[in-house]
Amino acid sequence: MQEVHLPLRTPLLRGERRLRIALVGLPGGGKTTLFDAVSSAAPLRGELTGTHRVFRECTVQIGLDEASLVDLPGLRTLRDLQGEDLAALKYLLWGDLRPPVSVHEAQAAPVPFSPPDLIIQVVDASRLQAHLELTLELCRLGRPVVMALNRMDEALKAGLQINVQALESALGIPVVPTVALMGQGLPQLFGWAAVTARGASCPLPHPPSPHIVASLQPLAAALDRADVHAAFRVPHEWLLLQFAGADGFVEAELGEHFPQLLPALQGLRAAAGHELPRPLAEELHADQHHRAATLAEAALRMGTPGAQGWRYWLDELFLHPQWGLLGSLAVFSAVLFVVFEISGWIDGMTTVRLAEAVADWKPESTGGVLGRAVADGLIGLTGIVVPYMIPLVMLLVSLEQTGIMQRIAFVVDRGFHRIGLHGGVAVPFLLGLGCNVPAISGVSRLTSGRERMIAAVLISFVPCSARSAIILAIAGKYLGVAGVVGMFALILVVIAVAGHLLSRRSLELGPGRVQEIPAYALPDWRGLLAETWNRTSDILTIVTPLLVGGSVLLALLGHYGADGFVNAVLTPVTVWWLGLPLALGVPILFGVLRKELSLLMIYQALGTQELGAVLAPLQMFVLLAFISFYVPCVSTFAVMLKHLGRRDAWYSVALSVTVALLVAGLLRIGGDAVELLAG
């Protein structure tokens, strides 16, 4: 199956024209897994009327189109259904548009929405023949059908090679190989669903064998009546074969609405069976089984069980429901380790030497103070951006180019659903590790309403490269690997708890999204450098002036003694609640200009770049926690103001201050209690 590139087609399938898709398949074929892979955070759940069979419904974004996706209970066949299975068939035939044959039924329609525009049959590729019998039945319903040839990895592992084009040609429907568990093939599947529905193309006719067709001609002619078709509103071939196979539902409805016609029809059915080697219902069943076997035989080729190459094992690591989380954590840990090692070496070669060069410069005049402040600002720029920010951004871009980042996003989709968000926002969350500004801009394009607000607020807690640089610079240097891991683990816990509480407070459902799983690729160095520059180019235009300006402001406050007043005002926060030195009030306050400023101001306020000499380990951890959650920087607030509006932007600020004070304060209290008990 070729990849689908969807041009802009009108009218768009959204709003009142939204596409409705039914997911159908045998139990155990992967239908529910496919639904979970693309569903919204909280799909609608209900029971088919008069049954205990559960269906689920959600909206899915397909490019510019939208679809309502309905996950029906498993169906093995459409023949002679009774009870709860019959309700699923009635939805496929009529939805809530009940036909005249159901007017005598006391119960309502099986579901409270219209019938599907298209059926996606989820087929287990490793058990193709059993599923093809249901395919032949679905093709008679008069609706477009697309086949998701699922579990292709298991088929290849078993040595089954499937000729997809031959299967498409024989059935007359699109057949798309997928591995729903790993998100593979899903964009192509739903792309073909939109194309097929827009073209309203139905499957090729699949009549029984010629000898059965010949025996059924008198019965077919007798059933071909306008009043019968108006009463049932189903394709003639489906009605004929259901009645010929002694389907209880069809026969009962014919007896209810056409009592004078039914005896004649039963007589013609009996006569048709006399011309066949076995009873008509058995002959129809055997014929369908034979045709499904013939189709499977034409499409299947047995071979050597597929060799498991490196791509397979990487996907097992990154896309498997359980191993994928471990793989994601491994990648994140490796990123921290590499950045820590590389950044430490770069820091020693640059910042340390620059700081030593100006260490003896202690001016007393205003001009000298300004000069030293500018020098400190430039050293701070070098020490934060060059060793920590640039390597981290380059690694994140490399992970995107190799396809690993998208796989991580697919795996963490399940976790995002638990905090009321769909997996489509996973990529912006991961991009937030570089910078929160483009991440919030990205999530504003993917979500709306309360979901947009929740996602943006949570992204503001994601440690951007600036905050990560501070964490690495302080925790990495003074608290070791355990301190770095502990800090990032704390951030993940806070994001999860805050997301859960916010989603319970008010959740507006957004559509699910079909996430692209690209092929693995090597990084393109030109593209890598260009994208790294694109994400860090504001250093020259925004960060440098803010760093230098903030350094000058802090130096002037200290030179004229004004910093003492600011620190005194903030004493209840810094000293009483957080247990930090009084001098850190100014760095904490002016850190909102740019997070990179915080570290530089801390150095200046404490009069040293050796924080271990003035801060205890617990104080460092409390300080990092407060900086990580306290008010996003000015640029982040500006983009939130633009995309969320004034009320939600200020709500985010209030929430971040509250969370920062609460988390950092509890850490301080807990740490003091542990030290007291240990002493």
CA distance 295 to 287: 12
Q: What is the mean pLDDT of residues 47-68?
A: 87
pLDDT tens by residue, 284-299: 999 999 999 999 888 8
The least confident of 120-129, 442-451, 454-463, 641-650 is: 442-451
**Alpha carbon distance 51, 405 (integer Å):** 43
Cβ within 8 Å of residue 27, ≥6 positions away: 74, 76
Q: Is the dihedral of CA 590, 592, 597, 601 positive or negative?
A: positive
Which range has the worst mean pLDDT, 511-520, 593-602, 663-672? 593-602
Residue 100 has pLDDT above 50, yes or no: yes
Is pLDDT of 190 > 90? yes
Residue-wise pLDDT for 328-361, tens only, equals: 888 877 776 766 677 767 777 777 777 777 777 8
> Which one is predicted more confidently, 132 or 531?
132
- Just give the CATH number of 15-206: 3.40.50.300
Top-ranked range on mean pLDDT: pick from 128-142, 322-336, 465-479, 563-577: 128-142
Query: Got the DSSP string for 501-553?
Result: HHHHH------EE----PPP-PPPHHHHHHHHHHHHTHIIIIIHHHHHHHHHH
DSSP letter assigned to residue 386? I
Look at residue 508 and tell me whether its pLDDT is greater than 60: no
Higher pLDDT, 102 or 436: 102
Query: Which of these, 449, 458, 528, 542, lies nearest to 500 by C-alpha position?
Result: 458
| Mean pLDDT of the chain, nearest integer | 83
Can you spell out the DSSP letters for 33-73? HHHHHH--SS-EEEE-TTS--EEEEEEEEETTEEEEEEEPP
Dihedral pair phi/psi, residue 662, rounded to 5°? -65, -50
459-462 long-range CB contacts below 8 Å, 24 or more apart? Answer: 459/428, 459/429, 459/432, 460/436, 460/632, 460/636, 460/640, 460/652, 460/656, 461/491, 461/494, 461/495, 461/498, 461/628, 461/629, 461/656, 461/659, 462/429, 462/432, 462/433, 462/436, 462/491, 462/495
Residue 538: the pLDDT is 61
R_g (Cα) of the chain, nearest Å: 33
51, pLDDT greater than 60: yes
State the pLDDT at residue 602.
Answer: 85
Query: Where do the H-state alpha helices sit in 403-523?
Result: 404-418, 426-431, 436-446, 449-459, 465-474, 480-505
* pLDDT at residue 31 is higher than 80: yes
Q: What is the SS3 string spanning 254-312?
A: HHHHCCCCHHHHHHHHHHHHHCCCCCHHHHHHHHHHHHHHHHHHHHEEECCCCCCCHHH
Mean pLDDT lowest among 170-184, 207-221, 359-373, 664-678: 359-373
Cβ atoms of residues 252 and 80 within 8 Å: no
The pLDDT of residue 2: 46
- Highest averaged pLDDT of the listed ranges 240-254, 489-503, 519-533: 240-254
Is residue 347 within 8 Å of residue 383, measured between CB atoms? yes
For residue 624, pLDDT beyond 60: yes
Q: Which residues of the chain does CATH 3.40.50.300 include?
A: 15-206
What confidence tens digit (pLDDT) does each residue in 598-609 have? 777 788 788 887
Please identify, in words, the CATH class of the domain defined by 210-302. mainly alpha
Q: How many percent of the chain have pLDDT more than 90? A: 31
Determine contact, residues 510/451, Cβ cutoff 8 Å: yes
* Burial environment of residue 96 by CB neighbours within 10 A (0 to 12, 13 to 18, 19 or more): middle
Unique residue bearing structure tokens 């570089």:
434
Highest mean pLDDT among 15-19, 462-466, 531-535: 15-19
pLDDT at 573 over 60: yes
| 443-479 per-position pLDDT tens digit | 776 676 777 888 888 888 888 777 887 888 888 888 8
Q: Can you tell me the mean pLDDT for 177-195? A: 91
- The pLDDT of residue 597 is above 60: yes
3 state SS for 348-372: HHCHHHHHHHCCCCCCCCHHHHHHH
What type of residue sits at position 650? W
Report the C-alpha gap between 102 and 234 in whole angstroms.
13
* Least confident stretch, 82-91, 555-564, 614-623: 555-564
Distance CA 666, CA 284 (A): 72
Nearest to 463 by CA among 635, 254, 321, 628: 628
Query: What pLDDT score does 480 carry?
Result: 86
Structure tokens at 278: 């076995």
- H helix or E strand, kind and range, residue 21: strand 19-24
pLDDT at position 273: 87
Question: In terms of DSSP H, where are the helices of 607-645?
Answer: 617-629, 634-644
How buried is residue 313: exposed, middle or buried, by Cβ count under 10 Å (0-12/13-18/19+)? exposed
251 or 414, which is more confident = 251
Highest mean pLDDT among 227-231, 458-462, 554-558, 593-597: 227-231
Residue percentage of the chain with pLDDT more than 70? 88
Residues in CB range of 161: below 8 A, 6 or more apart: 300, 301, 302, 303
Residues of the chain with CATH 1.10.287: 210-302
Residue 1: per-residue pLDDT: 43
* Residue 396 CA to its chain's centroid (Å): 18
Tokens found for residue 252: 């009962």
| 271-280 per-position pLDDT tens digit | 998 888 888 9
Query: What pLDDT, on the 0 to 100 scale, is given for residue 541?
Result: 65
Give buried/exposed letters for 506-526 (b at 16+ CB in 10 A, else e). Answer: ebebbbbbbbebeeeeebeee
Token readout for 63 is 């490019």
Do 140 and 237 contact (CB within 8 A), yes or no? yes
Query: Is 90 exceeded by the pLDDT of residue 217?
Result: yes
Confidence of residue 424 (pLDDT cuts 50, 70, 90): low
